[in-house]
Amino acid sequence: MERGCVNLDFNMNYKKHRIRLPQRILSFNTLQVLKLTHLEMRDFDQVDFPQIKTLQLDRVKFNSIEHYAKFLSGCPVLEDLHVRRDFRYGGLPLENLIALPNLDKVRFYGAYTPMSLVCKSKIFHMEKV
């Protein structure tokens, strides 16, 4: 983080149990590309990724849909979102969420994401719904 990394691939795919993402990473100011695989996101207050343009979430477990939305909302310049096999929360709609204004591409593979966050995307791809 001290060296101004712009691309981080945090892959815990080969761990037996889900690992929690270190809290410190949730305010990584220089990141432009973030890929998270086989992680658990719990107990975070704030997400601040002011430069992330590409976000890939593969089997990332959030405590609730509200935490999931809070995480995505912490990426204000996000352009490209890939979500694969996340955990559903009953499909409860969240009201009054602000859409991600720069989102161009959204790809879901067996995932649930609040549509109010991604409704302005230009390219939308969904599989296994």
Residue 86 is assigned to a structural domain of this protein: yes
Give the global pTM: 0.80
**CA–centroid distance for 94 within its chain:** 16
d(CA 38, CA 99): 26
Residue 57 is assigned to a structural domain of this protein: yes
Give the per-residue pLDDT at 17: 65
Residue 29 is assigned to a structural domain of this protein: yes
Instruction: Please give the residue range of the domain that contains residue 55.
Output: 7-127
Residue 2 is assigned to a structural domain of this protein: no
Give the per-residue pLDDT at 116: 67
Checking DSSP bridges between strand 54-62 and strand 80-84, what pairing results, if any? parallel
Give the per-residue pLDDT at 65: 76
Give the per-residue pLDDT at 92: 42
Q: 66 φ, ψ to 5°? A: -65, -40
